Amino acid sequence: MGRAVIETLDLAEWHQRPGHEPPRRRQRLQLRDGHLEHHGPMPAEAPAPQALALPALANAHDHGRGLRTLAFGAEDQALETWMAQLAFEPLVDPYLRAAVAFARMAESGIAAVNHCHNTQDGRALLREAEAVARAARDVGVHVAFAVPFMHRNAVVLGPLEPLLAHLPVADHDRLRQQRHGTRTPAENFALVERIAAFEHDHFHVQYGPVAPQWVDDDTLERIARASAETGRRVHMHLYETAAQRAWCEAHSTGGLLRHLDALGLLSPRLTVAHAVWLDAADCALLATRGVTVSANVSSNLRLRSGQPPWPHYLDNNVRFGLGLDGMSLDDDDDMLRELRLGWHQAKTAAPAQTLGLAHWFDAACVTGRATITDTPASQDVLVLDTRRIAHDRVQPDHPSLLTLALSRATRADVRHLLVNGRTVVRDGHCVTVDRPALEAALLAEARAAWRDHPPDTAAIGRLHHALCCHHTPASVGAASAAIRATPRAHRG
């Protein structure tokens, strides 16, 4: 056997509970063969360190696409029209798709992710899930896999006929066939159990009703019962757009959230993503039931959905984490920049509410993580290089390194990421897999698939145009205005 490789990481500060308590200063982490072996004070004679340690970040909502959506031509626009262009995505190896996504997240400081799985082939979900489980193990991040349930209102909310009026007759039968999901609810429940056979320390299965408008009440109620009986968590989109809220309110008695509560779905096991169009009464109910929200700031900007109702979250003590949704502002999976964008947005939208660093880092490192894994976070450590973010500081300790990290740090400043005490990222690069090689292989596959089996770009273009005609700016604006103007007690 060869000699053990010993590394030391010297830290100016180690924030184990950022904002809640003072950091440990001048700490040394000792690694043996890439695993955390010991930590304690640095020797007094050691030079001043230029690194900061925090709890690793959690991505509370994502889809794990190795190919970014812009890469295959799904251009930023309103969600209802953007979804048509997702059909441009080439069919690729599901392992490459997931491993590239998870490795990029790790290089951004993320140790845990809620993976809301979008199938490439609806009949190959089991094979795709096994590939995601392998990718989670190989990369070494914690992954919660939401098995997708979706079987109504595909293509467009409500009746299909108004949309068909904008399309040639030749497209009608194909779109009618797409109205229902590839799999039945019964098949999905059976798949949850089959996919659970792939579970390991870094991969756990959740129920994934995609959103209330896309799943019937009987299925939602059955998911709620199964979650209560098994303890499995539930992950669901909710009120991402004004159009979604308008449809849901029109099809539920007394308001959607109370309807979901009557079905038994609202519980501490539920995470809802986006939640842009919640009002104060909704937030009060979610907080009472212990539901966690994933705020996805960049995605909601890029897909024209709006911004989270930060005053309602804060006034009602809603538990929230932060998610990238595969749609970071600069399309670079930079979770540190996402923290900053959300922080400034929340502080601007809710200037009167108390929102401190402790609350924000809890959202980034603790609350979102609790929706993904029950494993303790004590050995999931993110180490940031502070040379760039602190180089021009006039006073030695002001602003604090924690403030500078929130205000300036990006993925370029990530030095190390330890997950369960194991080195996943060293000097900014994922060391558990060869991310650049996997990314090159993924891109080569995607280009070959596009060349050899090109999508029906004409049909996708016709559907996209029809959706743009169906969802006019005037109709979207009217839905938004109606929601804002109608008192909560009179909705539904």
| Tokens standing for residue 149 | 């349930």
Query: To which H or E segment does residue 234 belong?
Result: strand 234-238
Q: What is the DSSP string of 447-473?
A: HHHHHHS---HHHHHHHHHHHHHHS-H
Angle formed by the axes of helices 217-230 and 185-196, nearest 10°: 20
E strand residue ranges, 42-136:
51-55, 57-62, 110-116
pLDDT at 488: 44
Per-residue exposure over 149-184, b if at least 16 CB sit within 10 Å of its own CB, e if not:
bbbebbbbbeebeebbeebeeebeeebeeeeebbbe
d(CA 14, CA 377): 14
CA 139 → CA 244, 380, 466, distances in Å? Answer: 36, 14, 41
Do residues 24 and 49 lie in contact, with contact meaning Cβ atoms separated by under 8 Å? no
Do residues 143 and 110 lie in contact, with contact meaning Cβ atoms separated by under 8 Å? no
Q: What is the pTM of this model?
A: 0.95
How does pLDDT run across 50-102, given as a tens digit for each residue?
A: 999 999 999 999 999 999 999 999 999 999 999 999 999 999 999 999 999 99
pLDDT at 297: 98
Which tops the pLDDT comparison, 468 or 487? 468
Average pLDDT for 308-335: 97
pLDDT at 492: 29
Do residues 259 and 238 lie in contact, with contact meaning Cβ atoms separated by under 8 Å? no
How does pLDDT run across 373-419, given as a tens digit for each residue?
A: 998 888 899 999 999 999 999 998 899 999 999 999 999 999 999 99
pLDDT at 491: 36
Second CATH level (architecture) for the domain 54-390+431-440? Alpha-Beta Barrel (3.20)
For Cα atoms 405, 411, 413, give the angle at the middle one, nearest 5 degrees.
Answer: 55
d(CA 187, CA 191): 6
